[in-house]
Structure 1
Amino acid sequence: MDPYGVWEALRWYTELCKVISQAKVCGITNESETVKRLRLAIANKDFTFKAGQWVDFFIPGVSVVGGFSICSSPGLLEREGILELAVKHTVHPPAYWIHTECTLGSEVALRVGGDFFFDPQPGDSPVKLVLIAGGVGINPLFSILLHIADLHGYQEGKGKGYKMGTVKLYYSAKNTSELLFKENILGLMNAFPGKITCRFHVTQQTSQICKELQPHVKEGRISEKDLEKHASKDTLWYICGPPPMIESISKLLSNIGVPRNCVFFEKWW
């Protein structure tokens, strides 16, 4: 008897038992030159997630498991049974498969994970949010932003539920062509004026910025001066981006006196 083989089989069986749902690819679009956006129809009606979480992404025939942040809202899953991911092209096998082999109808399996999320309950005290994203780190923050829009819509329509405070998104990328979901973000600002606002930061812009984006774009990195105006006892800060950016922004927040327990971050590599 091969003890190693038995334990290896048991490990794989345990992993399979944790998989929450099968899913089928029902939409593929190019979000940018390097990022594909997948729409996935979720088979299991009991599958749920919180805005900001990620999924383990199991691909038949690919031994490496992907880990991708969800970029859609829990509300979209509730209403349509759909979950969305935006994945950047890399040589990492799951991302490479998405960019080179994934087609409409491809079947995968998903399992939710992560403790980076925003999930207020109806009786919770209102808070303000500042969301700070770098590059494809926008994914979980866009999910949170969409969830906030759902909360605003429900509160306005029903007159009950969680009453959301204001939200400010700071989103940094090399140039405007790498700003994911920018049209959607502009749409949210227009739909909820004063409640949802955004400042796009570009660090290596060489081309002309389109007129629609111009009022919301600032050249250069996110600074302490940008952030200090939002510091208050009822503000929560969510950050997602490359580790050096996380460390830099965390230091800025510490400099302006933001308590550590009000700062949440998700690092990606």
Structure 2
Amino acid sequence: MQWQVWTSLRLDQDHDLVASVDDRPCHIGSKVSVRCGGDFFYDGSGQDCSGDLLLVAGGVGITPIASIARHAVDLQEKLKKQNKRSSSKKVVLLYSAVETGEFLFENHFRSLSVKNSYFQVFFYITGQERYSTSVPQGYQFGRINSHVLHEKIQSLDRRRLLCYVCGPPPMSESVCKMLEHTGIDESQILYEKWW
């Protein structure tokens, strides 16, 4: 028999760590088993290191994408410091959520984009009906669609481009199809389906 167990960690209002496994409380010293899987990763070597990156995330699908973005930026900074090569690589992050309060790591991504000219981030709000007719500054209304993808890909080197996609399954499947329709080869598109 195989069991499926959900694990979550969060900080409560008092900044205390709250943990649960399968909705049962965990405490310091509790024993749990963890299994990781999938082949959705960016190691930054070989083709990964030299090509541009297009990162597309929806909701909490930002979690693995955030790790990839941070690692790519760290590698570029390391190469610049070692003067091994000029940083011509570009990293573009397209991130969608229902409303502004749902963007995880937002301040970190905005800071990265200010500090690193090769890193760009764009935030898309899909729950437009929650706002008046004005768009909050720094955000765009609407879903990440084929027009958006085509526009952002124009500034990237298609020959050495890697695309990473993670979000709700309908969004991930739609984005992957749209990327293929823009001429990106299927081998250049990596995605995670995790719920």
> What band does the TM-score fall into relative to the shorter chain?
0.7 to 0.9
> Which of the residues 211, 228, 243 maps onto 2:169?
243
**How far, CA to CA, are the matches of 1:151 and 1:140 in structure 2?**
17
Kept in 1, the 8 Å contact 2:44–2:75? The answer is: no
Whichever structure has more strand as a proportion of its residues is 1
In structure 2, the residue matched to 1:214 is: 137
Kept in 2, the 8 Å contact 1:237–1:263? The answer is: yes
> Which of the residues 77, 82, 87 maps onto 1:158?
82
Give TM-score, length-normalised by structure 2.
0.77
Residues 129-160 of structure 1 show CA distances to partners (whole Å, capped at 9, x for unaligned) of 10000111100000001101210221122223
AA partner of residue 11 (structure 2): T
**Higher Cα radius of gyration:** 1
In structure 1, the residue matched to 2:11 is: 29
Kept in 2, the 8 Å contact 1:130–1:236? The answer is: yes
2:50 is paired with a residue of what secondary structure?
coil
Determine whether 1:225 maps to 2:147. yes
How far the C-alpha of 1:114 sits from its partner, in A, is: 2.0
In structure 2, the residue matched to 1:67 is: none
Give TM-score, length-normalised by structure 1.
0.58
How far the C-alpha of 1:247 sits from its partner, in A, is: 1.5
AA partner of residue 91 (structure 2): V
**Alignment map for 1:114-193 (pairs within 5 Å):** 114-121=38-45, 126-160=50-84, 165-192=89-116
How far the C-alpha of 1:126 sits from its partner, in A, is: 1.1
Kept in 2, the 8 Å contact 1:126–1:162? The answer is: no
How far the C-alpha of 1:225 sits from its partner, in A, is: 1.3
Q: Assess, with a 3 A threshold, how the Cα gap between structure 1 residues 148 and 30 changes in structure 2: closer, same or farther.
A: farther
**How far, CA to CA, are the matches of 2:66 and 2:180 in structure 1?**
24
**How far, CA to CA, are the matches of 2:86 and 2:45 in structure 1?**
6
AA partner of residue 262 (structure 1): Q
Q: Assess, with a 3 A threshold, how the Cα gap between structure 1 residues 105 and 187 changes in structure 2: closer, same or farther.
A: farther
**How far, CA to CA, are the matches of 1:115 and 1:174 in structure 2?**
28
AA partner of residue 133 (structure 1): A
**How far, CA to CA, are the matches of 1:117 and 1:105 in structure 2?**
30
Q: Assess, with a 3 A threshold, how the Cα gap between structure 1 residues 221 and 203 changes in structure 2: closer, same or farther.
A: same
2:159 is paired with a residue of what secondary structure?
coil
**How far, CA to CA, are the matches of 2:70 and 2:86 in structure 1?**
15
How many matched pairs? 182
In structure 2, the residue matched to 1:255 is: 181
**How far, CA to CA, are the matches of 1:109 and 1:198 in structure 2?**
36
Q: Assess, with a 3 A threshold, how the Cα gap between structure 1 residues 124 and 199 changes in structure 2: closer, same or farther.
A: closer
Kept in 1, the 8 Å contact 2:80–2:86? The answer is: no
**How far, CA to CA, are the matches of 1:253 and 1:199 in structure 2?**
17
Kept in 2, the 8 Å contact 1:131–1:237? The answer is: yes
Percent identity between the aligned chains? 36
In structure 1, the residue matched to 2:6 is: none
AA partner of residue 147 (structure 2): K
Residues 202-255 of structure 1 show CA distances to partners (whole Å, capped at 9, x for unaligned) of 1114258xx9x723x110001111111315222111100111111111221122
- Higher relative CO (Cα under 8 Å, sequence separation at least 6) belongs to 2
In structure 2, stretches of 5+ residues that fail to align are 3-8
Kept in 1, the 8 Å contact 2:48–2:162? The answer is: no
Give me the CA root mean square deviation. Answer: 3.5
How far the C-alpha of 1:28 sits from its partner, in A, is: 4.9
**How far, CA to CA, are the matches of 2:33 and 2:166 in structure 1?**
25
> Which of the residues 167, 186, 204 maps onto 2:127?
204
AA partner of residue 189 (structure 2): V
